[in-house]
Each structure stands twice: as structure tokens, then as C-alpha cells.
Amino acid sequence: MASNRMKLELSRVVQGRSRLGVLTGLGRTSQHSLEIPGCLLYTHLGTVPHLTQDTLQTLRNIPSVTQVTLNHIAEQQEVLEDFKQGFTKFAGLHDTVLYCSLYDPAAPCPTGFNTNKTVSVWGSSGRIELTVDKFMALQKTVQPDWYQTMADGETWQNNTSRKRVRKSVDRTLAHLDECLLLHQKSQELEGAEVFGVVQGGDILEERERSARETAKRPVAGFCLDGFQSDSMDQSLRTQLIAAVSRVLPEDKPRLLQGVGRPDEVLDCVEAGVDLFEGFFPFQVTERGSALCFDFDISSNPERAGRAPPAVLELNDNQRDPAGDVPQNGDTNPEDQASVTPFEINLKDKRYRDDFRPLVEGCGCYCCTNHQRAYLHHLLVTNELLAGVLLMIHNVVHYQGFFSALREALANDKVELLKRRIRRPRDEQTESKE
């Protein structure tokens, strides 16, 4: 078995559930760490969407753990077998911890294809059916520092039957045992950490059984699957996660899959989640939006040095009375449907002559150099730079939110943070961080 060098050091547990701490001993050389609550760096095949590595390197505080997803990688199996030196080197990555998950959290795949022995993922050229053998053969070529085991996670749809949910738990446990067996025999995977997957759909007993049984296995941590944002009501989600957290051991990290909205993140942290997949900024970017929600919980409410009032007044005068409703025919209604209260959609015509940065006071490359009007122009002209600049800002803003979250946990300000991020943007005057 892996030496389990990954170590969770909890510095604080708030109200018996929210956990603050740091994951240490990450990576094959154990020199990396990741603060929790935290999120992973979401990528497409090792590349943060739209960003070249030299651009990525200019961002401060990027997560030390890079997530790659097997649906992208499975197509590269032969190539990686030839390459022999693992995915990190193949992708030209350095100084990062590689975590390999099964699915892409931003690209939900069709259901109905999993069997007792196989799980299907969708790559760029279609379905790839994985057995445990194939799954583990892939992991050997990827040589991740940390991976989730194969899992039957098709229970996120509404009205999944109890029988199907039970089967999903059983299959996932069976896959886990087989994976662990192969893992222990593999030289390539020596030192890699294994995360077991907790299933159980929306059925409390199944959730608890899955958690209990998984925890009996020699895993380094847990992935909580089947809680995807679209599939479940938030109160049910937090209830189930809280129940699962009670069953799981205190000393191992819990990674929640498919949840990324800031409000949901806060609730899930309160239910005992430590880690999130960083896909939310990507989704926001893809619909032409910039994250702009407020997470400033510093004691000075005036936020000295930021957003001079004159600018705010000007903004209010120019504000479209229709509020957040997009006015632009260029915007895709599908994009608009999913716009959350945490973002502004730069495709909206009102930003055409808005010469402010995306977020006043934000130190990212995009905000220190460019204006909303420019982003609007890039979006309406379908220019590739729009995705690049928005992704830079959104990743930085999202990371800022996570550090505010840790600060809030440390200083008993979670309630304040909750109010901040939920404050309607009208009150935020769109300009504060």
C-alpha cells in the first residue's frame, strides 16, 4: 500500500464540522501542501482552459494540485504508454501535484452505460468503456500523485431507484477493492495516494453505508460523488454530506465533486467538506461572465484605498434600470439561464462603454490592465482573448474567495462571509471586491 504520506493537519474545527487546516506531504516528493478548505486547479488535459503555462505562471496563489480527468486522458493511453514518464512530464507541468479524477466536473456525461464491470467516460471522440484493469492500466501510464478509484456514479439523476443506488454503492466498493489490489502490485503507482468514492444518491442509509465501508479500506481520502449542483437541492445535499461526514474519519480529507457555486461551497464546508474541484471559474468564463461577488471580510467596512465613491455614483447613474436582465441580442439565452448572482455577464450591452476593471481593486492581470468595455468588445467579436482574460480573472477571484473562506473560519466570520457573498449586487455597487 502507498505510504500515505498525505497528512491532514487540522488547525480548527468550527461547530464540530467546518474544518480549517492544511494537507501536507503531497506529491511524490512530499514537498507540496494545500490549505483546506481549498480547491484544485481545473484543467483540460493538464492545461487550465485558455491559458498557456507562461500566462498561468503569472497568477499568484494558484492551487498546488492540478486536476486532470480520465475522460481526456483515456484517449492518450497509447501515447502515454510510449512516453513512459507519466502525464506530468508529458504535459510539460512542473512543480505541481497531479490528481486524476474519473469525470470532468464541467462536462456531465450521459448515463445508462455503466455495467457491473465497466464504467464509461466520454472523450473528444466518444465513449470509452473502462474496466478496472483498463482503468488501472491508465493510471499506471498517468502516474498521478493522487487519484480517485473507479466508481459507478450514475445516481445523480432525479428519481434514481433505491435499487440502482444500492447497486452503485456495491459496484463502487467492488471497484475500489479491485483497484486497491492492483495498486498494491504496481510499481508505477508506488507512493500515489488513493481516494475512495462515496456514493449513495439521495438515500441517507446508502450514503452512510458507502462512507462506512469505504472508510474501512486503506484510502488516503474520500471523494463525495453524486452531489452535482444540478442534481440535488442544496438543503438535502448539506444534510447528506453532514451525515456522511459524521461517518468518515476525522483525519482524512473529503473532496466534493461537481459543486462550485460560492454559496453552495460555504454550505458544504459547514457540512464537513474540505476540497472542491475548481471548475466553477471555467463555467463562468464560458458564458462570457466575470466573477464579481464580494468576499471582503476585513474589519474595515470602508475598504480603504478601493473604489473611490465618485466612480460608484457614476456607475449608479449609468446603471440600466432593468437591473441584471441582459439587454443584448448577441447573448445566448442558454448562457443567460445559468448566470449566477456571483458574476456579471460582459456580453451585456451595458458594458460597451464601461471603462472600469472587471472588479475594482482586483490585482489580476486582466483587472490591472483591461476594462469591461474591452472584454465586451472581445466577446461580441468572438475573439479568443476574451476567454483568456476572463479565465485569468475568474481563477484569481475564486482563489481569493477560498482564502477569504479560510480567513473567515479562522476568525469566526463565516456568517459575515455568507452575508457578503449573498448580498445582491445592487448593494455591492458592482465595484467592490
Partner 1 sequence: MAAVVECGGDTNTKEKHMSLKKALSVASPLTLRIVAECSVTKARACDLILPHGGVITPVFMPVGTQGTMKGITSDQLEGLGCQICLGNTYHLGMRPGPELISKANGLHGFMKWKRNLLTDSGGFQMVSLVELSEVTEEGVKFKSPYDGKEILLSPEESISIQNCLGSDIMMQLDDVVSSTVTGPRVEEAMHRSIRWLDRCIAANQNPDKQNLFAIIQGGLNAELRKTCLDEMTKRDVPGFAIGGLSGGEEKDDFWQMVTLSTDHLPREKPRYLMGVGYAVDLVVCVALGCDMFDCVFPTRTARFGSALVPWGSLQLRQKQFAKDFQPIDPNCHCPTCKTHSRAYLHALFRNDTAAMHHVTIHNIFYQLTLMHSVRQSIIEDRFPEFVRTFMKRMFPSPDQYPGWAVDALASVNVTLD
Q: Between 152 and 354, name the residue whose CB sits nearer to partner 1.
A: 354
Q: Between 51 and 265, name the residue whose CB sits nearer to partner 1.
A: 51
Residue 321 backbone dihedrals phi, psi, to 5 degrees: -60, -20
Residues 333 and 299: their CA atoms lie apart, in Å, by 40
What mask, x for binding partner 1 by CB under 8 A, covers residues 228 to 257? ------------------------------
| 72 HSE (CA, 13 A, CB side) | 18
Residues 21 and 36: their CA atoms lie apart, in Å, by 5
The length of the chain, given as a count of residues: 433
Under the binding rule (CB under 8 A), the answer on residue 92 touching partner 1 is: yes
DSSP per-residue string spanning 292-361: -------S-TT-TTSS-HHHHHHHHHH--TTTTS---TTS-HHHHHT--TTEEETTSGGGTT--S-SSTT
What mask, x for binding partner 1 by CB under 8 A, covers residues 381 to 410? x-xxx-xxx---------------------
Q: Between 46 and 272, name the residue whose CB sits nearer to partner 1.
A: 46
Give long-range contacts, CB 8 A cutoff, 24+ apart: 164-167.
164/201, 165/199, 165/200, 165/201, 165/202, 165/203, 165/206, 166/206
367 is in an annotated binding site: yes
**Bridge-based pairing state of the strands 289-291 and 343-345:** antiparallel
Q: Between 322 and 355, name the residue whose CB sits nearer to partner 1.
A: 355
Contact (Cβ atoms closer than 8 angstroms) between residue 314 and residue 353: no
**Contacting residue, 4, 14, 24, 75, with partner 1 by CB under 8 A:** 75
**Contacting residue, 7, 44, 306, 418, with partner 1 by CB under 8 A:** 44
Under the binding rule (CB under 8 A), the answer on residue 108 touching partner 1 is: no
Residue 19 backbone dihedrals phi, psi, to 5 degrees: -115, 135
Binders of partner 1 among 112-141, rule CB under 8 A?
124-125
Contact (Cβ atoms closer than 8 angstroms) between residue 197 and residue 207: no
Q: Between 115 and 381, name the residue whose CB sits nearer to partner 1.
A: 381
Binders of partner 1 among 336-365, rule CB under 8 A?
352-353, 355, 365
Q: Which stretch binds partner 1 (CB under 8 A): 70-78, 188-196, 212-220, 339-347?
A: 70-78
Closest CA to 81 of 146, 134, 132, 27: 134
Would you give the DSSP letter of residue 74?
G
Q: Which stretch binds partner 1 (CB under 8 A): 199-207, 232-240, 321-329, 369-377?
A: 369-377
Q: Between 177 and 286, name the residue whose CB sits nearer to partner 1.
A: 286
What mask, x for binding partner 1 by CB under 8 A, covers residues 49 to 68? xxxxxxx--x----------
Residues 374 and 171: their CA atoms lie apart, in Å, by 51
109 is in an annotated binding site: no
Residues 136 and 42: their CA atoms lie apart, in Å, by 22
Classify 226 in phi/psi space as left (phi over 0), alpha (psi -120 to 50) or beta: left
179 is in an annotated binding site: no
**Contacting residue, 1, 29, 60, 82, with partner 1 by CB under 8 A:** 82
Q: Between 48 and 194, name the residue whose CB sits nearer to partner 1.
A: 48
For residue 430, which amino acid is it?
E
Least separation in angstroms between CB 229 and partner 1: 22
Q: Between 4 and 77, name the residue whose CB sits nearer to partner 1.
A: 77
268 is in an annotated binding site: no
| Count of chain residues binding partner 1 (CB under 8 A) | 44
Point out the annotated binding site.
362, 364, 367, 393
Residues annotated as binding site for Zn(2+)?
362, 364, 367, 393
Where along the sequence are the contacts to partner 1 (CB under 8 A)? 44-45, 47-55, 58, 72, 75-76, 78-79, 82-83, 90-92, 124-125, 352-353, 355, 365, 369-371, 373-374, 376-378, 380-381, 383-385, 387-389
